[in-house]
Amino acid sequence: MSMETRRIGPLTVSAIGLGCMNLSHGYGPPPAEAEAVALLNRALDLGCTFLDTAAIYGVGGNERLLNRAVMHRRSEFTLASKCVLDAIDGKRVLDARPETIRRTLDDALLRLGTDRIDLYYLHRPDPQVPIEESVGELSRAIEAGKIRTIGLSEMNAPTIRRAHAVYPIAAVQSEYSPWVRNPEIAVLGACRELGIGFVAFSPVGRGMLTGTVRTPSYASGDMRNQLPRFQEPHFSHNLHEVARFETLAANAGVAPAQLALGWVLSRDETIVPIPGTRNIAYLEENLATAAVSIDDAVLAQVDALFTGDTVHGGRYSRDMQAMVTTETFPGELG
């Protein structure tokens, strides 16, 4: 099946991609491999041509999963992965030194079973390594034919500008949804100015904008156990605001997740959301959004709903926030 496409630098991808992280970790126990393989292939069957993984996802396991699941269909999709954020002895580390990037990339190519990654991100900024050195190493990987384009993830506008001055950046990836608006502070403006595509992860609010989260109780290993806005004293307030969002979706005749994705798609034609899911029915619902028409007046209501101090609580824990440089709103970090 075909789907509307969008451009990310020199890459042409489906208007809605697939974030693959939660097939290996992040939101509790991962699905059985057979279920994950079926979901990945169903995504390709439905015209999703943009798959996003990373070295840290499942500590390499997610890249190996994609190898087993869909590399026999390699010509059908654009492959994105990431380096710098990794795990050593079970602890997350940042290492953007050129020699580490080279090793991580070579390991990723082996895990994925491919000779080239289309979009390779610096997953997080490493405060110990100038961004110029890291981007320089990725530019050499392009020359060597190991990657096609360079991306940045969860970095602020000044860092994006410094990186782009070394080598053209194809995409910036950050969390963006109706209730996470941080990229609007400066990053989206920098991307528009520099001609960089924007990839929105968690575009349905880590499940909060899907109509499925009703209590602040999550499975063991679910990252939302550590995220302030998903826990009390913030959760009950946020759930009340989300109920208003769900009413807008019901009145518009679309699922809440489709309203969230439709809003993200409407923000700019250079934005590509990459919702993740472990459920094929939700996958089909998400991807169907590309063909759904939502009235501009409804989108304007969504835009107005989550502004100012509507949402309470930071989007990251203190430790996780220390690993990103994305701009924050006044009072967001408490």
Residues in the chain: 334
Q: Taking the C-alpha atoms of 308, 309, 313 and 319 in order, what is their torsion angle to the nearest 10 degrees?
A: 40
What single DSSP character describes residue 213?
A: -
Rounded to the nearest angstrom, the gap between the alpha carbon of residue 78 and the centroid of all alpha carbons in its chain is 15
> Residue 63: what residue type?
E
Task: Encode 39-66: b = buried (16+ Cβ within 10 Å), e = exposed.
Answer: bbeebbebbbbbbbbbbbbbebbbbbbb
Beta strand pairing call for 117-122 and 147-153: parallel
d(CA 271, CA 105): 26
Annotated active-site residue 57? The verdict is yes
> For the chain, what is the total number of helices (H) and then of strands (E)?
11, 12
- Reported as type and span, the H/E element at residue 294 is none
Residue with tokens 């969008």: 6
Q: Taking the C-alpha atoms of 304, 306, 307 and 308 in order, what is their torsion angle to the nearest 10 degrees?
A: 140
- Reported as type and span, the H/E element at residue 97 is none
DSSP track, 59-121:
TTHHHHHHHHHHGGGGGGSEEEEEESEEEETTEEEE---HHHHHHHHHHHHHHHT-S-EEEEE
Out of 57, 120, 282, 316, pick the active-site residue: 57
For residue 84, the number of C-alpha atoms closer than 13 Å in the C-beta half-sphere is 28
Q: Taking the C-alpha atoms of 184, 185, 188 and 194 in order, what is their torsion angle to the nearest 10 degrees?
A: 160
Residues with catalytic function: 57
